């Protein structure tokens, strides 16, 4: 039963006559949302500054404030200001991706320092630092994964996973979109992982069961 973000899990088998031992599993939804907004807003600081600086200092002065409509197409400065706008938008998008990688990498490194990823069984019916930080790392990776994989430059997703150090993916490897394939995996060079194929580094035994977590 889930109540206010906490799951009650029994650790006693059905054949036992003892009273079930109930442990509270803190899902930390407030912390998850805080970390998401940290990554989200940091990722737009650089792009927002670049775009607003260009818009206010160049585009408005040389294009929007052009005295006549004909001058937009006959003078060099308005034309350059207009033609450079798509390039600035592309640069802002790439900077946005870079800042997602940097902010995710910083948070990931902090969690790894507190509770490093390692092979083993992670119980979720008792309070566990390993389980807490496993869930935190899984959550903070999702935003970047979706932005890269479903964005205009999906081939940069390999750079994202390697940069964050969530996985080790070799050069020339293509990993299609899937629910997994994002952390604790090692893939060699020039490999192809098809659509919805999964390199499962973790398997969950039931909704709130133990997590089998091994590098794949």
Give pLDDT tens digits for 66-78.
888 888 888 899 9
Give pLDDT tens digits for 122-135.
776 677 788 888 88
Nearest to 94 by CA among 33, 165, 155: 155
User: CB–CB of 150/138 below 8 Å?
Assistant: no
Nearest to 162 by CA among 139, 182, 135, 190: 182
Helix intervals (H) in 152-207: 157-164
Nearest to 26 by CA among 126, 140, 108, 117: 126
CA distance 81 to 72: 10
The three-class DSSP label of residue 8 is strand
Give pLDDT tens digits for 150-200.
889 989 999 999 999 988 889 988 888 777 777 878 888 988 888 777 776
pTM summary value: 0.78
b/e per residue 54-90 (b: at least 16 CB within 10 A): bbeebbeebbeebeeeeebeeeeebeebeebbeebee
Task: Check residue 105 and give its pLDDT.
Answer: 96
């Amino acid at each position: 039963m889930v109540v206010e973000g906490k799951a009650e899990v029994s650790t006693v088998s059905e054949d036992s006559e003892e009273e079930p031992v109930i442990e509270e599993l803190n899902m930390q939804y407030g912390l998850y949302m805080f970390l998401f907004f940290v990554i989200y807003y940091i990722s737009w600081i650089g792009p927002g500054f670049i775009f607003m600086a260009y818009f206010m200092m160049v585009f408005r002065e040389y294009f929007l404030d052009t005295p006549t409509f004909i001058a937009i197409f006959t003078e060099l400065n308005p034309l350059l200001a207009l033609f450079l706008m798509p390039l600035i938008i592309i640069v802002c998008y790439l900077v946005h991706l870079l800042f997602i990688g940097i902010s995710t990498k910083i948070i990931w490194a902090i969690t790894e320092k507190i509770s490093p990823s390692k092979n083993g069984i992670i119980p979720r019916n008792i309070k566990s630092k390993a389980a807490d930080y496993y869930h935190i790392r899984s959550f903070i990776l999702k935003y970047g994964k979706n932005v890269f994989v479903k964005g205009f430059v999906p081939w940069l997703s390999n750079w994202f996973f390697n940069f964050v150090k969530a996985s080790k993916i070799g050069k020339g490897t293509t990993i299609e979109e899937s629910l997994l394939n994002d952390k604790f995996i090692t893939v060699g060079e020039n490999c192809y992982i098809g659509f919805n194929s999964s390199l499962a580094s973790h398997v969950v035994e039931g909704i709130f069961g133990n997590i089998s977590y091994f590098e794949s």
